[in-house]
Amino acid sequence: MTAPPDDCLARNEWICGAYLSSRREILVDAVLQHLQLTAASVAVALLLAVPLALAARRWRWAAGPVLGLTTILYTIPSLAMFSLLLPLYGLSAALVIAGLVLYSLTLLVRNILAGLRAVPEETRQAARGMGYGPLRLLLAVELPLALPAAMAGLRIATVSAVSLVTVGAIVGHGGLGNLIYSGMNTYFKAQVLTASVLCVVIAVAADLLLLGAGRLLTPWTRRQT
């Protein structure tokens, strides 16, 4: 029996509007899980990366171990990383978030540290001459001037996390990766393509949002260009 000419699902076509209309709730749930996993992992990684970068900048001897360790973590294959973390977190969303945090650290630490090191020493000296203490100097001078480099690292880490979330499908917490994985197993073309395109859309949208946020937070860079 041949499929009706207007039934793209029965014909298993790559582009199928019927798939979007009939699986709307499934797609929305997958997108929300994807966004939650990405946002949580990047937020936690940022909270860890800032003090690590500050420590590496404050104590020169700490820079090598911090950068070396985060680089080693980044080279571990994702499947191996999840396997190593499995005894600690089990088959849970926390497992995926923990893995993504470790992957994001190297991108964030390196860029934040590079931004801090790029702050001119004369700027620090001028702030100290105006009575700025160490904490005020950090918050009012160093971190704002390091923000462009930090935002560049945050954009890369976020886009990378959007992609790596899909690997979480192996433990059932992969957002759109769950649909890609199941679609590949059943050779469901429309599901694989739709979920893949949505991943790309999320990555591009997140990158543009962070780019816009960075430009708003650093108006002096716009004046320079």
Cβ atoms within 10 Å of 88's Cβ, excluding its own? 10
DSSP-assigned states of every residue in 85-97: HHHHH-SSHHHHH
Rounded to the nearest integer, the mean pLDDT of the chain is 86
Q: Is the pLDDT of residue 225 over 80?
A: no
Q: What is the pTM of this model?
A: 0.86
| Single-letter residue type at 194 | T
Residue located via tokens 């994807």: 34
* For range 32-42, the mean pLDDT: 94
- Which pLDDT value is given to residue 59? 85
Residue 219's CB is within 10 A of a number of other CB atoms, namely 8
